[in-house]
Structure 1
Amino acid sequence: MRLSWDNVVRAPTVPASPTDRSRLSVVGKPYRAAVPAAIKRMQFNIMPDVAALADDARAAITRFDAELSAMFDGEFAPLSAVLLRTESASSSQIENITVSARALSLANVGLAKFGSNAKLVQANVEAMNRALELTGPLTPGLILAVHEALMHGQDQAEPGRFRNQQVWIGGTDYSPHSADFVPPLNSRVHDSIGDLCAFSERTDLPLLAQAAIAHAQFETIHPFNDGNGRAGRALIHVMLRNGGASTRTTVPVSAGLLSNIDAYYEALTVYRDGDPNPIIDQISRAAFLAVDNGQQLATDLRTIHDGWATNLRARRDAVAWRVLPFLLRQPSVTSKLVQETFNVTQPAADNALRQLQEAGAVSKPKTIHGEGQKRNVVWQATEVLDALDRFGERARRSSRTA
Structure 2
Amino acid sequence: MARGPYEAAIPAKIADVDPQIDSRTQSLVEAATVEMVRFDAELGRDSAPFAALLLRSESASSSEIENLTAGARKVLLAQLGDRSSVNASLIASNVSAMQAAIGLSEDLSVENIGTMHHALLVSTDQGIAGEYRDRQVWIRGNSPHSAEFVPPHHGRVMDAMKDLVAFMRRDDIPALTQAALAHAQFETIHPFADGNGRTGRAIVSALLRAKNVTERVTIPVSSGLLTNTRLYFEALGAYREGNVAPIVELFAESAILAVDHGRLLAADIESALRDYRERLGATQESVRKILELLPREPAITAEMAADSTGVSTATAYRAVQRLEEVGILSPAGKIRGVRVWVAADIIAALDDFAARAGRRSRH
Whether contact under 8 Å (2:59, 2:98) holds in the other structure is yes
Post-superposition shift, 1:333?
A: 1.9
Post-superposition shift, 1:285?
A: 0.7
Question: What corresponds to 2:148 in structure 1?
Answer: 180
Whether contact under 8 Å (1:36, 1:192) holds in the other structure is yes
Question: What corresponds to 1:353 in structure 2?
Answer: 320
AA paired with 1:265?
Answer: F
Distance 1:280 1:47 in 2: 10
Question: What corresponds to 1:62 in structure 2?
Answer: 37
1:162-195 residue CA offsets vs partner (Å, 9 max, x unmatched): 10000000110xx211111000000000000010
* Structure 1 vs Structure 2 CA RMSD: 1.7
Distance 1:111 1:341 in 2: 21
Question: What corresponds to 1:223 in structure 2?
Answer: 191
Post-superposition shift, 1:314?
A: 4.7
Post-superposition shift, 1:45?
A: 1.8
Post-superposition shift, 1:353?
A: 1.2
The DSSP-based 3-state class of the residue aligned with 2:171 is coil
AA paired with 1:258?
Answer: L
Q: Say yes or no: does 1:321 pair with 2:283.
A: no
AA paired with 2:353?
Answer: F
Of 7, 20, 36 in structure 2, the residue corresponding to residue 45 of structure 1 is 20
Q: Say yes or no: does 1:122 pair with 2:97.
A: no
Whether contact under 8 Å (1:128, 1:146) holds in the other structure is yes
Distance 2:98 2:188 in 1: 21
Question: What corresponds to 1:386 in structure 2?
Answer: 348
Post-superposition shift, 1:329?
A: 1.6
Question: What corresponds to 1:293 in structure 2?
Answer: 261
AA paired with 1:327?
Answer: L
Distance 2:167 2:98 in 1: 21
AA paired with 1:335?
Answer: A
Post-superposition shift, 1:55?
A: 1.4
Question: What corresponds to 1:162 in structure 2?
Answer: 132
Whether contact under 8 Å (1:313, 1:355) holds in the other structure is no
AA paired with 2:288?
Answer: W
Unaligned 5+ runs, structure 1: 1-22
1:368-400 residue CA offsets vs partner (Å, 9 max, x unmatched): 5x4xxx555332211111111111111122x15
AA paired with 1:394?
Answer: R
Of 117, 124, 147 in structure 2, the residue corresponding to residue 147 of structure 1 is 117
AA paired with 1:356?
Answer: L
Whether contact under 8 Å (2:287, 2:319) holds in the other structure is yes
Deviates more, 1:280-289 or 1:130-139: 130-139
Whether contact under 8 Å (2:105, 2:207) holds in the other structure is no
1:340-389 residue CA offsets vs partner (Å, 9 max, x unmatched): 433433431221012212343213x2435x4xxx5553322111111111
Aligned length: 363
Of 193, 199, 204 in structure 2, the residue corresponding to residue 236 of structure 1 is 204
Change (3 A) 1:289 1:225: same
User: Which structure's CA Rg is the greater one?
Assistant: 1
Whether contact under 8 Å (2:333, 2:341) holds in the other structure is no
The DSSP-based 3-state class of the residue aligned with 1:248 is coil
Whether contact under 8 Å (1:167, 1:183) holds in the other structure is yes
Q: Say yes or no: does 1:367 pair with 2:338.
A: no
Unaligned 5+ runs, structure 2: none
Question: What corresponds to 2:49 in structure 1?
Answer: 78
1:294-318 residue CA offsets vs partner (Å, 9 max, x unmatched): 00000110111122122224545x2
Whether contact under 8 Å (1:146, 1:231) holds in the other structure is yes
TM-score (norm 1): 0.86
AA paired with 1:181?
Answer: F
AA paired with 1:380?
Answer: V
AA paired with 2:139?
Answer: I
AA paired with 2:357?
Answer: A
Question: What corresponds to 1:18 in structure 2?
Answer: none
Question: What corresponds to 1:202 in structure 2?
Answer: 170
